[in-house]
Structures are given as structure tokens and as C-alpha cells.
Amino acid sequence: MTQNHPSIAEVASLVGNPARANILTALLDGQALTAGELAYVAQVSPQTASGHLGKLAQARLLTVAKQGRHCYYRLASPLIGRMLEGIMAVAADGPPRYRPAWRGDEALKELRTCYDHLAGRLAVALADALAARRHILLTADGGIVTAEGTDFLARFGLDMERVGQGKRAFCRPCLDWSERRPHLAGAIGAALAHRCFETGWVARLPDTRALSLSPAGRAGFAEVFGLHPD
Amino acid sequence: MTQNHPSIAEVASLVGNPARANILTALLDGQALTAGELAYVAQVSPQTASGHLGKLAQARLLTVAKQGRHCYYRLASPLIGRMLEGIMAVAADGPPRYRPAWRGDEALKELRTCYDHLAGRLAVALADALAARRHILLTADGGIVTAEGTDFLARFGLDMERVGQGKRAFCRPCLDWSERRPHLAGAIGAALAHRCFETGWVARLPDTRALSLSPAGRAGFAEVFGLHPD
DNA sequence: GCGATTGTTCGGTTTCGGCCGAAGTGATGG
DNA sequence: CCATCACTTCGGCCGAAACCGAACAATCGC
């Protein structure tokens, strides 16, 4: 049996470099960043980052868009984000010695974006709350939205017709690497996050994937979902 | 923002070596293999393989069980398989130059195991057939089994009570790296595969993840699912 | 245009990790 | 109790790649 999966090793080794891993995780929220910004987050010189970006683009993990003298890089497809989530889930599960002291921002643990949906303590609590009220049902492999859940989310402002492309809404668990419990991803997760931005409950912060929670958002999460941040 | 995800890069770089990637994919069907067998599939010497296996075990990607003078290695958790699936999906999507000539077995493309469920041309066709009859509904993010589907699968011999842990059966799409279209994974995929082994429709072949299709299986797939292999 | 800014390419150094030969450990079996 | 087998550990070799300084290309603002 000479199976040989060279491409698997090639893809994985691209991610298996600290600088490139930092670049990819920085792009995990779907935004496009310039080469310079990525060099900064990767903590390497611009010329080193340029080399990494070239490799990632050649392997089709990133796409590049030139705008003026800036080069905007973004993940080539949601598939890449899905792969990174999978690796992060394993990494978070790994031997404790690799992550004894969490050097990241506390705000990042509380609430952040994960590709196109919400992650962090609050997002996990949100998934828990929805599950507890039987609005959604989650397992390790998938999830469904109940009829009551569909009504509830529609009242919250989600266009459930569009989300489900018909009348069905699919949801998917995504293992949260800081909480190590699943939060809500998939079409529902994305729509929910979008609605939270739309209402001004949460907003993006510059230079980080962490999100800020507005007073209205704090009150809203408490009222609508029974959550009490911090 | 000094996020730093060293563990991501560490995990990915473990996979990012051809020998280790071969080892991991060989274990992808959930079986345990000895160090010698893994050295063979990885196409390296036993002492080199031993080094790789030691690293993989230390990082908790593999677990090892000593039995006599044999060491049986297996994936440490389904999470690992999930991660590998994600990487394979991206690799299959990558630049065509990496896979111009498929060097593997043709049988592998036709039907094989993928961790605990079926994969390959036949498995994709199976998922298509179930979806076409509205027995299941699949998107990129998840899937559900309809009421008719539950009845149908129960008649086929699946214990739908147990599978769904209650009365709900969860299913999940898994991107097939040879077909590049989703096949059926999750609890339903595993139960379906188990039933196919149980009825003798398919059987494992030695030294490969490819599966053999019995005459009964050929007839059965045609009759029950309307599939005509090869 | 000219300097400033952004990004890439080139060259050379250095470090890291994969690889195998040889030797060591431990279990098996006659 | 000794030969064999399965696996691991040790030591040294070698190639790949990450890194940065320096130079080069392209764009913008004035």
C-alpha cells in the first residue's frame, strides 16, 4: 500500500510554522489584512513575512488583492477556516505544558470573532442558553434548530427564510479553543453574529479579533438570552 | 496584539511531515497498528518511525498500547480524525500540480473507510441518493435526517433510537478527498457503515483502507439505494 | 518630479529536524 | 538460557528552510 498523501503534509507544514500560523489565525475572522499588518502580528520582518505570504498564496491558502501600494491578503475559502478550527481544537486539547500561561488578551477570551461567527466565553454561554431552552440541539457532530428556536431567532431579527435557504436552518458546533466547549457556527452562527453587529450590541476593535460589548449589548444579552457578561 | 498560538504551529508541524502524515492517515480508520506496520506505510526505517511515533504520542495525537513485544498505536481521539479530514479537504482543493497523477489504488477511490464511516465514489453516491430522496438534507455545515429518512434507515437495520440518543439522529457532511464532494459522516455515517459491515455487504481488506464489495453488497446497494457500483 | 511608504527579491548565515547505522532493552519461544 | 523478534535510543551526517540586511520595484502625496 503506497498511498502517499504528499499534499496533506505540504498543507500542514505550511501551517506548521509559528509566523505563518499567526498570519492565518489573524485572518481567521475573514477580514483582509495588508502584508505589513500581517508581518506585525507574525512578529517577523516584512521581508520574511513576504516570503511566507508568497508561499501561502501559491498554495492557495490565501488570496491576494492589490490595492494601490497595499496588498490585502485573506483566507482563500471558508474551507481554510474550517481546517484551522480543527487544528486549534486539537491544539487546545493537547498537553498542558504548551499553554501554561495564556499570554493573550483577556478580552479575547471573553468575546471575539471566529471566522464569521462569535466565539469566547460569552458565545459559549449563548450556545448553552439556546440549548438549555431547547431552541437548538447540539452534538459533537452537528445540530438542529427546533421550531421554537426558529420562531425565537426570527423574533430576534434573523431572516430565518434566507438563513435556511428554504425553511431549514442548519447549525454546527465549533469547538472554542479558549473555553474548550462548543459555540455556535454555521449559517445560524453567522447570522446571529451579523445581527449582533447590526444592532450595535458588539463592535470590532482595531488590531484584534476581540470584540467590544456596548451597554445596549450588555442589557440585551441579559434580557433576551439571560446572559450576564463578566 | 501579541496573540501567539504556538500550539497551533506545533500541532500542524507534526502533521507537516510526509512520514508522519502517512502514519496518521493510515490510522484514520480508527484501527490500531503496530510500530512496524506504521514504519512500512510511512516508508521509513523502524527507528525513524519510532522517533515520529514518540513525538506524536508525546503531543497526544496518538495513544500507545503495549501488548507483548508489539506496540499498538491509534489516534488519541476523534478530534484528531476531524482535524485530518479538514486538512485533507484543503489539500484536495489545492493547486492541481500537487496531485496530477493519482498514485493510489483505484479501489481506494471507489470505496474505503474514513475514520468510522464510508468514503469514496460509492459513499458519495450513497449520500447523493439519500439526499435526492429527501431522506437526509445536507449543507456544507451540517445535516438532518427527515422523518421519512429515519423510517427508511430503521428498515435498513439501523437502531435509530440509539444512534440519535433519544429520537434525533445527527448527521454531518465530510468532504471526500477523492471525489471532492461530501459523503455521510457523524453518528448516521458511522451507523450506516457499521450496518454495511454487519450485513457482509462490504469487508475490510488487509493493508489498505480500501474496502471490498461483496456480490450481496453490489445487489443490495442497487436494490436498496439504487446505486450501481462501477 | 522627489521623498516617503509599502512591498518584494536576492544572498548568505545559521539553525533545526529528518534520516539511518549501530547498539541497547525487553518479551517470546523452543 | 540463548536465539530471535519488535521496538527504542544514541550519534553523526546532511539538506531544507527560516531569518534578516541590503537592494530593488511600485505607488502615493505634495
Contact (Cβ atoms closer than 8 angstroms) between residue B80 and residue A90 = yes
Contact (Cβ atoms closer than 8 angstroms) between residue B205 and residue B86 = no
Question: Is A9 in the B-facing interface, judged by CB distances under 8 Å?
Answer: yes
* Residue B1 pLDDT: 41
A34 membership: H or E segment, kind and range: strand A33-34
State the DSSP string of B210-228.
BEEE-HHHHHHIIIII---
- ipTM (interface pTM): 0.73
pLDDT bin (cut points 50, 70, 90) of residue B101 is: very low
pLDDT bin (cut points 50, 70, 90) of residue B98 is: very low
B117 CA: distance to closest CA in chain A (Å): 13
Tell me A210's DSSP state: B
Nearest nucleotide (C1') to alpha carbon of B45: C20
Among the residue ranges A195-209, B170-184, B200-214, the one predicted with the least confidence is: B170-184
Closest CA to B29 of B65, B80, B64: B80
Average pLDDT over chain A, rounded to an integer: 83
Handedness of CA B182, B185, B189, B190 (dihedral sign): positive
Q: How far apart are CA B179 and CA A49, in angstroms?
A: 34
A52 touches strand D (CB under 7 A): yes
- Write phi, then psi, for B76 (nearest 5 degrees): -70, -25
**Per-residue pLDDT averaged across B159-185, rounded?**
68
The cell numbers describing A128, all together, are 448553552
Q: How far apart are CA A113 and CA A120, in angstroms?
A: 8
pLDDT of A106 > 90? The answer is no
**Per-residue pLDDT averaged across A91-120, rounded?**
69
Q: How far apart are CA A203 and CA A213, in angstroms?
A: 7
Contact (Cβ atoms closer than 8 angstroms) between residue B196 and residue B181 = no
Tell me B115's DSSP state: T
Which of A17-31, A106-120, A182-196 reaches the highest mean pLDDT?
A17-31
Count H helices and E strands in chain A, helices first. Answer: 11, 11
* Residue B13 pLDDT: 96
Q: How far apart are CA B145 and CA B47, in angstroms?
A: 48
Closest CA to B203 of B78, B74, B113: B113
pLDDT bin (cut points 50, 70, 90) of residue A40 is: very high
pLDDT of A54 > 80? The answer is yes
Looking at the domain B6-79, which fold is it? Arc Repressor Mutant, subunit A (1.10.10)
pLDDT of B117 > 80? The answer is yes
pLDDT bin (cut points 50, 70, 90) of residue A95 is: low
pLDDT of B96 > 50? The answer is no
Distance in Å from C24's C1' to B25's CA comes to 31
Closest CA to A82 of B182, B190, B102, B131: B182
Question: Is B85 in the A-facing interface, judged by CB distances under 8 Å?
Answer: yes
* Residue B186 pLDDT: 79
Q: How far is CA A192 from CA A78, A102, A123, A161, A202, in A?
A: 18, 28, 10, 14, 11
Condensed to tens digits (0 to 9), the pLDDT of residues B27-69 reads 988 888 999 999 999 999 999 999 999 999 999 999 998 887 8
A45 touches strand D (CB under 7 A): yes
Closest CA to B122 of B133, B131, B111: B111
Q: What share of chain B is helix, strand, coil (3-state, %, to 5)?
A: 50, 20, 30
* Residue B104 pLDDT: 55
Q: How far is CA B88 from CA A9, A25, A69, A77, A172, in A?
A: 9, 19, 35, 14, 20
Among the residue ranges A114-123, A214-223, B43-52, the one predicted with the least confidence is: A114-123
- Express as a percent the part of chain A with pLDDT over 90: 37
pLDDT of B140 > 70? The answer is no
Distance in Å from C13's C1' to A44's CA comes to 17
Q: How far apart are CA B118 and CA B170, in angstroms?
A: 16
Average pLDDT over chain B, rounded to an integer: 83
All residues of chain A having their beta carbon less than 8 Å from the beta carbon of residue B88 are 5, 8
SS3 A144: strand
pLDDT bin (cut points 50, 70, 90) of residue A90 is: very high
Q: Is A158 exposed, middle or buried (0-12, 13-18, 19+ CB in 10 A)?
A: buried
Helix axis angle for B46-58 and B35-42, nearest 10°, is 110
Taking the CA atoms of residue B155, residue B156, residue B158 and residue B164 in that order, the dihedral angle to the nearest 10 degrees is -60
- Express as a percent the part of chain B with pLDDT over 90: 36
Give the distance from CA A203 to its chain's centroid.
15
pLDDT of A64 > 60? The answer is yes
Helix axis angle for B35-42 and B18-26, nearest 10°, is 120
Contact (Cβ atoms closer than 8 angstroms) between residue B27 and residue B74 = yes
pLDDT bin (cut points 50, 70, 90) of residue A199 is: very high
All residues of chain A having their beta carbon less than 8 Å from the beta carbon of residue B137 are 168
Tell me B79's DSSP state: H
pLDDT of B187 > 70? The answer is yes
Q: How far apart are CA A110 and CA A209, in angstroms?
A: 11
CATH 1.10.10.10 range(s) for chain A read: 6-79
How large is the greatest C-alpha to C-alpha distance in chain A, in angstroms? 61
pLDDT bin (cut points 50, 70, 90) of residue A220 is: very high
All residues of chain B having their beta carbon less than 8 Å from the beta carbon of residue A87 are 8, 11-12, 83, 86-87
